[in-house]
């Protein structure tokens, strides 16, 4: 692995339409670029998506869905969003239009749902028309509860199946690491789930018909996956997840596989630095394609296919919250499922919670600043001089 550090320099402010937008000039090994603010004044922006008419949707973790139309953030949040558990790590998470949104107007939201004295990860869908969210239906509700680590990312595959990530809910580790709930696929602690668009379980899921295992589970042994994508060419499912103090991971997610948390990994206990894992590798457990020590607090995951940054085509992009950066990863040509190069981009830009390719081929980041205030920025290439 090769890490390339990148310096960034703010070059002032310019007028963009009726708004003032920061433009930060940045450099990389292959492309110079700038970060242009396209929506500001957001409260912990968590996810970004686009509708066929060009509207941008942004979720705010406290429980609001916002619309950016023609470059302007509409003043009022979308009505009809369900009540969220907006405490700690809880709140409104991902937003994802149905692949046939243009005809069915279906929109999917993941969020922390209040349940009893706690909360759980849930997914709903509803119709988004006239800037309102109506006719809500439950798609998924996790059986797991806890203090945090909700997961909450959504992704469609090419056959129209929906993937959902669920974290381990901060379940405690003990002397017998194999007894951790994330190692038990009879529950939803630390899993990815594969569903039909209405929430039904596909008949070809890996655990269908297996006694004592939840049939919707696609993979297990995860800690807190907050990035999820389906490769547009290969159809492979990829996820990044938070490690503890050290040990963030990028994983190729295969059906029925165990990804090892907390038995294997590269992290240590917070504060004390004492050992958590039995080893870094284990029989019957999948090792990551890439890992970070120290952690960058991964969030958001994208594979770039656009033409605005030709040298970045085929690269993974991973948001870093603790690292306040964007990581670019080059997949190996000779070793499928492995990474051969890492480049740190936009270091110091803020806590990057999401990274998406826009329909215009630019790269968009949902960035949180101090106090939870945030913005969406667009990365644009700048010709080198």
- Active site amino acids: 149
Kindly list the distances between the CA atom of residue 169 and the CA atoms of 91, 100, 126, 144, 224, in Å, as whole numbers in the listed order. Answer: 14, 32, 26, 7, 8
Q: Residue 104 belongs to what H/E stretch?
A: helix 101-104
Q: How many residues are listed for the chain in this entry?
A: 385
Residues 6+ apart with CB under 8 A from 310: none
Measured in whole angstroms, the distance separating CA 62 from the mean position of its chain's CA atoms is 17
Alpha-carbon distance of 381 to 34, in angstroms, equals 6
Is residue 185 within 8 A of residue 213, CB to CB? The reply is yes
Instruction: List own/partner pairs for 327-334 with CB under 8 A and 24 or more apart.
Output: 327/292, 327/296, 327/298, 328/28, 329/250, 329/290
Per DSSP, the residues of 35-91 read: EEEEEEEEESEEEEEE-TTS-EEEEETTTEEEEEETTEE-SSPPTTPPP---STT-S
DSSP 279: B
CB atoms within 10 A of CB 51: 17
| Closest alpha carbon to 111 in 82, 88, 133 | 82
Residues 6+ apart with CB under 8 A from 359: 50, 54
Burial-class residue 305 by CB neighbours within 10 Å (0-12, 13-18, 19+).
Answer: middle
Helix (H, G, I), strand (E, B) or coil at 224: coil
Lookup: tokens for 85: 């558990």
Alpha-carbon distance of 167 to 221, in angstroms, equals 10
Lookup: tokens for 182: 């994330």
Query: In the 3-class helix/strand/coil scheme, how is 124-156 assigned residue by residue?
Result: EEEEEECCEEEEEEEEEECCCCCCCCCCCCEEE
Alpha-carbon distance of 264 to 287, in angstroms, equals 8
């Amino acid at each position: 692995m090769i890490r390339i550090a990148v310096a960034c320099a703010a070059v002032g402010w310019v007028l963009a339409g009726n708004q003032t937008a920061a433009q930060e000039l940045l450099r990389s090994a292959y492309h110079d670029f700038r970060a242009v603010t396209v929506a500001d004044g957001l409260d912990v922006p968590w996810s970004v998506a686009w509708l066929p008419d060009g509207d941008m949707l942004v979720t705010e973790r406290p429980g609001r869905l916002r619309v950016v139309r023609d470059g302007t953030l509409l003043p009022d949040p979308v009505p009809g969003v369900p009540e969220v558990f907006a405490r700690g790590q809880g709140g409104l998470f991902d937003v994802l239009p149905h692949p046939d949104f243009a005809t069915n107007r279906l929109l999917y939201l993941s969020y922390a749902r209040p349940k009893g004295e706690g909360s759980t990860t849930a997914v709903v869908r509803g119709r988004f028309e006239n800037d309102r969210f109506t006719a809500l239906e439950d798609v998924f509700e996790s059986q797991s509860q806890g203090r945090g680590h909700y997961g909450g990312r959504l992704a469609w595959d090419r056959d129209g199946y929906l993937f959902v990530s669920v974290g381990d809910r901060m379940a405690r580790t003990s002397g017998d690491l194999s007894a951790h709930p994330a190692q038990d696929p009879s529950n939803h602690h630390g899993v990815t789930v594969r569903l039909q668009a209405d929430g039904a379980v596909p008949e070809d899921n890996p655990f269908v018909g297996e006694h004592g295992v939840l049939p919707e589970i696609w993979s297990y042994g995860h800690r807190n996956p907050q990035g999820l994508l389906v490769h547009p060419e290969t159809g492979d499912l990829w996820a990044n997840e938070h490690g503890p103090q050290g040990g963030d991971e990028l994983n190729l997610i295969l059906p029925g596989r165990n990804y090892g948390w907390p038995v294997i990994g590269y992290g240590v206990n917070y504060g004390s630095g004492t050992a958590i894992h039995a080893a870094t590798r284990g029989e019957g457990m999948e090792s990551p394609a890439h890992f970070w020590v120290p952690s960058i607090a991964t969030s958001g995951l994208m594979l770039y296919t656009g033409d605005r940054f030709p040298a970045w085509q085929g690269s993974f992009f991973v948001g870093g919250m603790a690292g306040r950066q964007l990581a670019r990863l080059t997949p190996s040509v000779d070793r499928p499922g492995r990474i051969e190069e890492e480049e740190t981009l936009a270091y110091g830009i803020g806590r990057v919670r999401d990274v998406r390719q826009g329909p215009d081929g630019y790269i968009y980041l949902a960035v949180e600043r101090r106090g939870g205030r945030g913005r969406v920025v667009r990365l644009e290439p700048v010709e080198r001089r």
